[in-house]
Amino acid sequence: MVEGKYRSRTYRRVQRKTPGSKNVRAFVRRKPKRARCGSCGQYLKGVACQRTYKMKKMPKTAKRPTRPYGGVLCSKCTRLKLKEKVRKSEKK
């Protein structure tokens, strides 16, 4: 039987193939929850969702869309927010 900590569902069970082509059960930590839009709560697209040690290796451009409010608001809410901002600046 495996170690006690692997008996809980904290770890996912994944079938992996070793270099010697053996099928082995690996225990992998679960992914964190996906990022949501700060305004409407929709899941954000183009935002990576990995454990921190993998996120650190990733380039910044792979983690979130490169636009204002990228990784914070969805594209729909971003467009609304920018329009609102422009309208406010024109009033002054």
Residue number, 63 or 72, with CB nearest to Zn ion: 72
Residue number, 14 or 40, with CB nearest to Zn ion: 40
Secondary structure of residue 61 in the 3-state scheme: helix
Q: How far is the CB of 82 from Zn ion (least distance, A)?
A: 13
The contact pattern for Zn ion, residues 56-75, with x = CB under 5 A and - = no contact, is ------------------x-
Residue number, 27 or 80, with CB nearest to Zn ion: 80
Q: Give the Cα separation of 83 and 89 in Å (integer).
A: 10
